[in-house]
Structure 1
């Protein structure tokens, strides 16, 4: 009879949530200026736009710092921190819960079940956090000469609901749901790369009973996080561009720039071609590839620390 894998207890789910929230907070804190630059590149279509034109990422950082100061580089920081912390916490929690459910009567999960677990977690997180990402995008796109700017997170939230209705908080939800594949690809790649690395190191050390915590260090977690993130970015980045363009603030007359996701796709393809769907990918990679390394270093180490503390207790 095959020996079934032990199912993690409910306590483990909260430990995954705490580790995920800590990882998300650490990630967004140091990388936010690149997120602002990426968002501005994503919505700039070379036609009518309230966003200034930038030559490249260094020029954008310099121009924003010069004209808007530190505040410009960290526009939308509060909803970004809140959204990232909640998202990562919920993501790891829902992901772990899904894996626990799929693990019943199995020794280990297949790549397909890792993919299903990640997709399920991503969809749930998307529904919970879309309003936060919409407010973040709106704040990041504000420039000093904008008419009736939002004064902050709460003002943006109140103004959006008052002027556009609560449904406006879910603009960009559809491409956001398609972006669930980003997390699914990233986590599946991470799990499979991790499994391969653990197996290779166990064979090298001739210790087949050693756990991942015994064999992997922070450099390994950084490499795993970066490589899995790169695979996900290259595959799903166009969905991010579509979402950002949908989430722009309407004009002073209340008319939105784009009607729906299909309208964004048609207009972008017509006037910008394939390149339009990858606007801002350079700052996105500069932000997210090292950020993914930090995220998984923090996550794995916090999780190992919690497990150690629990055993000692």
Structure 2
């Protein structure tokens, strides 16, 4: 596969776009991961059936309110997971871990997102070009195949980085917090190289989200773009079309394929409770019901809409600028 100057442009543009999106929405990424997990303070708690939960306070025992560690005098018979709002989670992280807590995992996130987006857009553009030469050009089938190849390549190459990022985002300590080096060492000591690929099966299933997104993105973008005699107005409308197409396509894809994200986060947690893709999926259903598979969806949508718009507008803009100056 020959690499052309245009391929390099797509590679660089993808890296820049991924960096912009990740840096702008990192706090919401941390919040989403915490809500998805079972290890955060507002995770799954065992409580007595038909008895209101209580928490220990300095002056005795009072009904539990908000999010805190609590106990109950009655026997344990039922498991529940409190519903936690996005803003409540942000405030708690800021209170217990400081503002830096909202940017945990940003280092590996950028380390992963830059090559991930660069590799994805490069592979997607290359496959799209190749398939357009042997198939009906720019059809949904071309976009599906291109997205799948791009997603599979990126997932295989970058999965260890995402595992480290998730572990760092789930770390709730202000002092003596988990560092990237400590995390890598701990995972390797406990599980060897295979430990860095926990949750990769869920990630492969998650390729369907990327495929759905790019099929809808290409379709929405083509419908929204139109010709205009004023070049400046045409460029502005093109950017707006790209932003809308990026946001809408990601929202649709996220809603359809979201459960794999919750399963993947649980598999990447420390501990042995979640062992495999099917076991984790069924365990979440058993303990939390269907709603458990959609924990953090609102936060994900709030994060993904601007993130996708930023990524797609940045990507298309960088490609256009680099093609003009080359």
TM-score under structure 2 length normalisation: 0.82
1:35/1:236 CA distance change after superposition, 3 Å? same
Match of 2:270 in 1: 249
Q: 3-state SS of the aligned residue for 2:270?
A: coil
**Contact 2:112 2:162 (C-alpha < 8 Å) held by counterparts:** yes
Per-residue deviation, 1:107: 5.9
Distance in 2 of aligned mates of 1:89 and 1:120: 14
Q: 3-state SS of the aligned residue for 1:109?
A: coil
Q: 3-state SS of the aligned residue for 2:258?
A: helix
Match of 1:307 in 2: 323
Matched, 1:237 2:258: yes
Deviations 1:72-126 (A, max 9, x none): 1111111111111111111001101111210114562210111111011100100
Per-residue deviation, 1:292: 0.4
Matched, 1:58 2:87: yes
Q: 3-state SS of the aligned residue for 1:55?
A: coil
Distance in 2 of aligned mates of 1:137 and 1:278: 18
Matched, 1:275 2:273: no
Q: 1:121 aligns with which of 129, 150, 154?
A: 150
Distance in 2 of aligned mates of 1:87 and 1:156: 21
Per-residue deviation, 1:180: 0.5
Match of 1:222 in 2: 243
Q: Which has the larger radius of gyration?
A: 2
Matched, 1:176 2:203: yes
Match of 1:34 in 2: 28
Per-residue deviation, 1:220: 1.8
Q: 2:116 aligns with which of 83, 87, 103?
A: 87
Judging by fraction of residues, say which structure has more strand.
Answer: 2
Q: 1:144 aligns with which of 173, 178, 186?
A: 173
Q: Structure 2, unaligned stretches of length 5 or more?
A: 47-67, 70-81
Match of 1:292 in 2: 308
**Contact 1:248 1:257 (C-alpha < 8 Å) held by counterparts:** no
Q: 3-state SS of the aligned residue for 1:104?
A: helix
